[in-house]
Structures are given as C-alpha cells and as structure tokens.
Structure 1
C-alpha cells in the first residue's frame, strides 16, 4: 500500500480514536460526578501535566529528528554529486586512450545513481540496482587502477584519482544507511498512546461542563493527527507527500555536463 494512503489512514484512525477517547473520558467523568459531589478532576493536575508534558516532548523530539534526517538525506545527494564530479575531473590525469571507457562507465554510473531511490519502498528493485551499482564500481575501480599505473599517466594520477573514487563509492553506503535510519516503531506507538490518553483526560475534565465545546475537541484531534501525519511523511521522503526527489536534479545536472 502507498505510504501516503497508509499515513492518511493512521492519521484518520488517530482522529477518530481521539474523538472516541474524549467521549469515553467525558462519560467516565459524568458517571463519577453522579456518585460523588467532588470535582472529578480535582487533584489530577500533576498526572495530567506529566502526560501532556511527555506528549509534547515526544512530538517535538520526533518532529525535530524527522526534519533533521530529511535535510541530511538532501545533503548527502549533494555530497555524492560533488564526489562524482571531482573523480570525473581527475580522469584527465589518465592516458587519453583510457579515458574514453572510463568516462562512459562514469556516465552510466551517474545515471544509475540519479534514479537509485526513485522506487521508494520497492526493495526488490532497489536491491537489483544496488547489485548493478556494486558491479559498476568494481569495473570503474579496476579500469582506473590499471590506467593510473600506465607509463603515460600523470605521476600523481593514482594519488589523486583513487581516493576520489573511494569517496565516490563510500557515499553510496552512507546514503543507503541514511535511507534506513528511522526511530524504533515503539516511539510511534508510544506517541499514539499518549495522544489517545491525552484526549481521554481532556474528555474527563470536560465532564464538569454541561455543554460540549466541539470546536476545541475537533481542533485538538485534528492538530494531533496532522502532526503525526507530517512526522511519518518526513521520515519516508521517497514515498509520501513530502519528497526529497527534487534534490536528485543535482545528479541529473552533473550527468548533463558529462561530455564524451
């Protein structure tokens, strides 16, 4: 199922769940008031403050972390483009006869990397592209290593080109790990539980009022559901509404500038 649909279902489920929890809390408060003259919420301020404080802290933590990881993934694309561009320029140190095959392999490699994460959550296609990338890396490395040892190569060819290739290859692992870097699922589970408990407590407190304030109820549920939706969408920027695909243009521009 598409992540956008899944996240929308989660958000909608939270919204409905909060509305139900609010009603349940209100009925519990009314039932207690019917059997006691005391204020149902009296003495519960510390517990409620702890719950809402933890909920606010967890929302801030998950949102901030998701936003940081989103920007880090965009930055890694730029880093990879810079690494490929640097290695491409250093091919000039090799003999002219060896540059042609390597430049062709570089163009194929850059094209492959520019579309490496377009498949989103389709792990099978990603694994196939990763295997192709690894084979192409080995091919480029072997060709560059042999060409840098050629008598007609510049004296500094191996010293300058091989580290650049190493950096170009290493960034692929960094990007792959960054795409899998997410908080444990228990964090989202805890966040959902806290949001529902918060709605329950608000409903319990509202039992002292004869009339319901639907505006406050709906706004609270909608804002909390929307916050969770945005957090999850930021965590998976290749599958949801908030996407990092525009950053791939830097690799496309680099490929366009790779002349034979």
Structure 2
C-alpha cells in the first residue's frame, strides 16, 4: 500500500479511496445476500449471538482505529516539529561559519547553500522516487564535504571558538536531518493495517446481515456507513503519508526556504 501511494501520488490516493469504498460496500451487500440465501433455502436466519459478535467486532475496530489514528497524528506532529528543528539547526550552523576566516568561510557557505538546496529538492520531488533518491544522494555528498572542510578549516584557525561552536552546530544539523529522514519511514507494521481493513470488511459483512433482517435495503444508511469507514481509514493513511494526499506538511518547508533566502545567494 505504501509503495502504491508513494509511486502514484494523487492517482494512488484516489484509487485507494475508490477501492476501499467499493470493497466495504461489497462486504455489506454480501452480508445481506447471506441473509437472503438462508431465507430462500428455507432455513431460519441465524440471529442468536449475531448481535453480540457484531458488537465485539465493532468494539475491536473502534479500538484499533483509535490506536492507529492517535499514532498517525503523533507522527504527523513530530514530522512538522522536525522540519522547524532542522531549519533552526541549519540557521545556527550557517551563522557560526562566520567564526572562520576567509576564504574558507565563503567556500563553506557556498557548500552549505548547495546542501540546503539539495535537502529542499528531495522533499519537493515527492512522489518521484528517483528524483528524491538523487537529491538525497547529492545532499549526502555535500554533507561529507561540508564536515571535512569545516574540520580542516577549524584546525587551521588559531581560535578555538570555531571548533567548540561550529562543529557541534554542524553535527546537530546533520543529526536532525537524519532523524527527519528516518521519521518519514516510520509507520505501523503492515499487519496492523491489514487487521484494520479486515475488521472493516468483517464488520460490514455483519452489518449487512443485520440490516437485511430489518426490512428493505436502505441505501442512505448503507452509503453513510460505508463512507464513514472509508473516510476514517483514508484520514489515517493520509496522516501517515503527509506529502501525498490532502493532509500535508509542505507548508512547513517554507521555514527551511526562509532560512535559504537568508543565506543571501
């Protein structure tokens, strides 16, 4: 599912919503068909215990939805916080390059600008995975060069301020970047999503079975039930992949862009 959404972007999200809505609606109708089949075959439809089982399934579904939604929302907030933190760390490290003498300062500032450009390009390129990987690879090369050249420049200067202030600031900026990249890959195990979708389908099956025993089909109730489940699951998945759907963290990249604008060139 993650690879489908990542590779297809908006199209993948639309396919996901339509497929989920259709599958839940089919499960609802299957429950109704089971009831009708029992009636047509002359058998008494099963009613004993069905309500208790359906209640248990929906209780478990509600618990799982609450668990996954809470986790997705927490990870979404963490990703936004990490963007701001990276912007602050990069801004601090860039300003501390002023501790170095020329021409090393100017050379390192130019490398730093290229590094930040590569970081911005990586996240703007989503969902184009090849462009993302290329931008991240470029930022890794620039990071190594920036660190190596900063260490050499700090050793050549007579002041210890560069070593004591610049290098820790660079290390903090690089650590935050690594943490931010890791956070984009942090998702619940696939089995949890599998359980969530399976419980939705099983619950819809029991709901359709129970609704069939209460008279003619009510499309309004059925569609509201299916739409509610579909939108709930979509919001959870959207929070997990906040650069692909309606819920996005792109606006927070403006904080990094402002830092880049403050770097003059």
- Specify if TM > 0.5: yes
Larger deviation: 14-23 or 192-201? 14-23
Alignment match, 2:252: 247
1:147 and 2:131 equivalent? Answer: no
158, 161, 165: which one pairs with 1:160? 165
1:16 and 2:16 equivalent? Answer: no
Alignment match, 1:236: 241
Alignment match, 1:174: 179
199, 203, 211: which one pairs with 2:208? 203
- 1:224 deviates by 0.7
Larger deviation: 221-230 or 185-194? 185-194
- Map Cα deviations across residues 213-234 of structure 1 (whole Å, 9 max, x no partner): 2211110001111112222222
In 1, are the aligned partners of 2:119 and 2:136 still within 8 Å (CA)?
no
Runs of 5+ consecutive residues of structure 1 not aligned to the other structure = none
Distance 1:101 1:2, change over 3 A: same
- 1:36 deviates by 4.9
1:121 and 2:123 equivalent? Answer: no
CA RMSD after TM alignment: 1.9
Superposed counterparts of 1:49-68, under 5 Å = 49-68=55-74
Matched residue SS, 2:123: coil
- 1:164 deviates by 0.8
Larger deviation: 199-208 or 27-36? 27-36
* d(CA) in 2 for partners of 1:258, 1:62: 40
Matched residue SS, 1:218: helix
Higher relative contact order (CA 8 A, sep 6+): 1
Superposed counterparts of 1:31-50, under 5 Å = 31-33=37-39, 35-36=42-43, 40-50=46-56
* d(CA) in 1 for partners of 2:56, 2:9: 32
Larger deviation: 162-171 or 235-244? 235-244
Alignment match, 1:85: 91
Calculate the TM-score normalised by the size of structure 1: 0.91
How many residues were matched structurally?
258
In 1, are the aligned partners of 2:96 and 2:166 still within 8 Å (CA)?
yes
In 2, are the aligned partners of 1:40 and 1:205 still within 8 Å (CA)?
no
1:28 and 2:37 equivalent? Answer: no
